[in-house]
Structure 1
Amino acid sequence: MTFTFKKAAFGGLATLGAVALLAGCASAPEESDEAGGGEALDYLPCMVSDAGGFDDKSFNQLGLEGMQRAAEELGTEYIEVESAAETDYPSNLQNLVDQGCNTIVTVGFLLAPAALESATANPDVEYVSIDDTVDQDFDGTTDAENIKPIIFDTAQAAFLAGYLSAGMSETGAVGTFGGINIPTVSIFMDGFAQGVEYHNEQKGTDVQVIGWDRAAQDGSFTGGFEANDTARQVAQGLIDQNVDVLLPVGGPIYQSAAAAIRDAGRDIALIGVDADVFETDPSVGDLLLTSIRKGIDVGTYEALVAAGNGEFSAEPFIGTLENEGVGLAPFHDFEDAVSDELKTELEDLQQQIIDGDIVVESYLASQE
């Protein structure tokens, strides 16, 4: 595990994307009047990554960027702790409690059990849970009053990506695979499949989704969130089934998919997740059709600025298409390849989802 204690350096942050968390289950707090560089607050925000690490070009990195921006605005320091394995989670959280952290952000679904244990033992510490409601007893509510969930109904944006992929496919097969079959991963894959199905219904096509079975709620998984040979082999298995669009869901595993695509020697488009991967990792930019974007950076920033100003709220935030908490990234190098007709259809579909005329199924849909 790696500990870092530093003053926020705003100049090194990635610029915020077009996604802005404007509203949600809870209203977004107003920006603080206190600018960075002023008298430091008696407030210390902290963050624990999951095993993917802060350089995952994905959700851990976005969470860290959100905390850095909040610390800069508040004029305070921050602590980041990188987990090398799941076994690090409890000790990392305890170390942050021992260092006097006021708000601890946990990044990822797999941190939920350790976050709940820490939050229950330390009721005076505020917790922000990215990507999980921390509802370990499955009663529909967060299990501790000092935990704020920041979660995203990415199925809505993935639906659009699925429809887009079906419209772009020339082989009639698109693929997806994930790190581990957990809700925050499968929600992408299932939404993607729903979008393909909708395209088939509307257009009379028969595009197949390889790697995810909606009925079984299971599919192709690597068993972790590392860019390794296993992830490359899973991607290759889908490529061998003639897919020409590939959606890997699980932090850095997209890097293994990109390597397999380059080795394939044919046109296969890649879809990123969480961040606009074209911006976070230009090395794969030429392969990226789009990315399914989550506003993790903005959501984290908003929650920590509120907490730093004494306005912490445990009310959940759920990112949707309506509040711009989720969405598709620009097409970038594929801008000219996507027809104007398909672009118009995607805009219409997005509005229909926002209006409730099209219902995208997900485990979060009932909570919005």
Structure 2
Amino acid sequence: MGGGSGRARGGGRAIIIGCLGVVLLAASIVVAVTIGPAGLSPADVLASIGAHLGMGEPTLSRLDDAIVWELRMPRVLTAAVVGAGLALCGAVMQAVTRNPLADPYLLGLSSGASVGAVLVIVLGVGLLLPLAAFAGALAALLATLVIAMAASARAGRGARLDPTTTVLAGIAVSSVFGAITSLVIFWSATGDSYREILNWLLGSLAGTDWTSVTISGVALLAVGLPLVASARTLDAFAIGETGAAALGVHVARTRVLLLGGTALLTGALVAVSGSIGFVGLVLPHAVRLVTGPGHRSLLPLSALSGAIFLVWADTGARTLFDPRELPVGILTALVGGPVFAWLLLRGRSAA
């Protein structure tokens, strides 16, 4: 009886936190759009949104409306979607691999996407960058899974994915793809292409548009929602493979599906944002301190916190050093590194 009431209280608290998070995210999006040299107010932003959605008459000048609807709103929404997706992928990967250091780039996805992006930039076909980055991420995932299954087979465990072997295979693939990226940059990149490559590798949301919102949003809905629905399966993974199998989980097949889903989502997000680190690593840990390990609350709240975090990180990246813009990946690393160190120290002291 006590356990049931405790779970009910925990679920009620998660719902309250989630509702507050949704309100905070909506307010963050509106306020973030106002920040900049144009001198816009939240009322201006809401008026522009309403006019474009057919819920009111246009009241802003054409210039101010373009700043809101064509420049800032797509960028802020892309930041929210990318942050939500990366944090969600991080929480899923930490559960599947049972590795607290797992994040969306653990299996070489970022390095594979970087190869694809750098190649098309050097070749002068930057319009294909999202597709090339996505293809590179999937190629890296495939290489990682093939190596991991081959290593497991040679070790006599059959062609199944062992978490530790998969992580090590991801590290190897990441190193090789990273070396290929460096070689291409060293051999071919000059001038504007070098600057564009560096901007992408450091992670940047500059230049995002409604197409970016569509790509990332569709990916989050199509892949992210099934990942959130896998909460009970991820809870089973937390007690180990034997325990999960005893609860009726087909461990090998489920692991491939979940890792494949995170790879698909990460590839789509990286394609529009570049390589943005620490969001998928730090945010699930921070949320876990509040909600506990249950994935029914952890997954959606990680997505919410990731969205809010990246909205403000990108807002800081484009305004703190005005008129120069800092790649948002630098800012997430500057913030995420110390925060993660603090979380580790807090965990040690609590233990």
Higher RCO structure (Cα 8 Å, ≥6 apart) = 2
**Is the structural similarity TM-score above 0.5?**
no
Q: Which bin holds the TM-score, normalised by the shorter protein?
A: under 0.3
**Greater helix share, structure number:** 2
TM-score after normalising by structure 1: 0.26
**Greater strand share, structure number:** 1
